[in-house]
């Protein structure tokens, strides 16, 4: 397994020094290792949004170490973990809070897990509120310089890991009850439905959103959507998506993350 690239996702933002400090600790072990910034603009404490962003991105990342930090439970008894995936040549380092399962499922699940509880490899600090600097980054650095995964802490059974926080849609032969997973920069609304889930839907659809019923069309591209029309398409990640042409569907339909949407044929 190559460990020569680190890919880094967090909810730290870029206004404070947190991202730079974490990267600085990693660089103190291996200055030449490239670090890919997946994003640091996950909404603060939003584990579900972090897990979705990671799952969307991780299949396009090179072999190496994936550092993911969205950690509202920092300083508590939640575990800090390192996980070797079965496939794909990746080791994931993250809090054990449901952040990793969607990404791990893309690589055949879990081969090995350790808790990062060997304090020999931690940075000593006055408080326990910056695990990214004091626990996660040193673990990344140790792996980069050849420390064995097992040396970083105790083995953890796979079934003891926290499960995914992602919702499951309700699917029947007549309708689909979905939730909004993600709203992108353009206002496209990704639902927790994949292409197979929406196979039975015709070109002319009914949507129920916030108690209101409206029409929609099945389309293949954004340009197939006429002005002020709502389109349902399969996005670049293979998920069902509500969109409008050169307009934010999220704003027009008053949709937010976790909003419910019911879809059916007219």
Q: Specify whether 141 is located in the same domain as 30.
A: yes
Q: Are residues 78 and 210 in the same domain?
A: no
20 and 145 together in one domain: yes
The model's pLDDT over 18-32, given as tens digits with 9 standing for 90+, comes to 999 999 999 999 999
Q: Domain for residue 182, yes or no?
A: yes
Asked whether residue 18 is domain-assigned, the answer is: yes
| 96 and 225 together in one domain | no
Q: What is the CATH number of the domain that holds 199?
A: 2.40.30.90
Backbone angles phi, psi at 101, to 5 degrees: -50, -45
Taking CA atoms, 54 is separated from 22, 100, 116, 176, in Å, by 18, 8, 21, 26
Residue 62 lies in a domain: yes
Dist. CA 92–CA 8, nearest whole Å: 10
pLDDT value of position 2: 56
- Domain containing 210 equals 170-265
Judgement on whether residues 249 and 120 belong to the same structural domain of the protein: no
The contacts of residue 159 (CB under 8 Å, 6+ apart) are none
Nearest-angstrom CA–CA distance, 57 and 215: 32
SS3 call for 237: coil
For residue 165, being part of any structural domain is answered with: no
* Alpha helical stretches, state H, 90-223: 101-105, 131, 137-144
Q: Is 189 found in the same domain as 155? A: no
Check residue 3 and give its pLDDT: 65
155, 124: one domain = yes
Q: Is 135 in the same domain as 189?
A: no
Low-confidence ranges of the chain (pLDDT < 70): 1-3
Same domain for 184 and 155? no
Same domain, yes or no: 155 and 174 = no
Strands 231-234 and 80-85: unpaired
For position 166, what pLDDT does the model report? Answer: 87
- Domain-terminating residue out of 160, 188, 217: 160
Stated pTM of the model: 0.90
* Nearest alpha carbon to residue 197 among 168, 230, 158, 171: 171
Domains: count for the chain = 2
Of 160, 183, 202, the residue at which a domain comes to its end is 160
- φ, ψ of residue 177 to 5 degrees: the values are -110, 110
Whether 33 and 107 share a structural domain: yes
Q: What is the CATH number of the domain that holds 75?
A: 3.40.50.10790
Exposure string (b/e) for 226-235, b if CB count within 10 Å is 16 or more?
A: eeebbbbbbb
- The answer to whether residue 137 sits within a structural domain is yes
- Residue 186 region, left (φ>0) first, then alpha (ψ -120 to 50), else beta? alpha
Residue 1 domain-assigned? Answer: no
The rounded Cα 133 to chain-centroid distance in angstroms is: 21
Q: 43: closest CA among 175, 211, 182, 201?
A: 182
Q: How far is Cα 175 from Cα 169, in angstroms, rounded to an integer?
A: 11
Domain end, chosen from 104, 134, 160, is at 160
Q: In the beta sheet, which residues pair with residue 36? A: 7
Q: Are residues 82 and 203 in the same domain?
A: no
Query: What count of Cα atoms within 13 Å lies in the side-chain half-sphere of residue 86?
Result: 9
């Amino acid at each position: 397994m190559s460990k020569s690239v680190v890919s880094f996702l967090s909810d730290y933002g870029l206004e404070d020094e947190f991202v730079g400090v974490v990267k600085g600790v990693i660089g103190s072990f291996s200055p030449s290792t490239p670090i890919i910034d997946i994003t640091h603009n996950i909404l603060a404490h939003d584990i579900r949004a972090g897990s979705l962003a990671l799952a969307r991105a991780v299949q396009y990342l090179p072999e190496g170490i994936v550092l993911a930090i969205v950690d509202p439970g920092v300083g508590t008894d939640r575990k800090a973990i390192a996980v070797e995936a079965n496939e794909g040549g990746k080791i994931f380092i993250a809090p054990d809070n449901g952040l990793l399962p969607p990404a791990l499922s893309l690589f055949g699940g879990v081969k090995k897990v350790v808790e990062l509880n060997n304090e020999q490899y931690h940075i000593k600090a006055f408080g326990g509120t910056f695990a990214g600097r004091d626990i996660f980054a040193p673990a990344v650095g140790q792996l980069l310089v050849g420390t064995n995964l097992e040396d970083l802490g105790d083995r953890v059974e796979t079934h003891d890991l926290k499960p995914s926080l992602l919702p499951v849609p309700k699917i029947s032969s007549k309708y689909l009850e979905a939730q909004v997973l993600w709203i992108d920069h353009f206002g496209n609304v990704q639902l927790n439905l994949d292409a197979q889930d929406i196979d039975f839907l015709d070109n002319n659809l009914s949507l129920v959103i916030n108690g209101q019923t409206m029409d929609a069309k099945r389309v293949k591209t954004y340009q197939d959507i006429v002005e002020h029309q709502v389109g349902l398409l399969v996005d670049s990640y293979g998920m069902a998506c509500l969109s409008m042409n050169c307009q934010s569907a999220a704003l027009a339909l008053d949709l937010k993350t976790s909003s419910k949407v019911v879809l059916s044929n007219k």
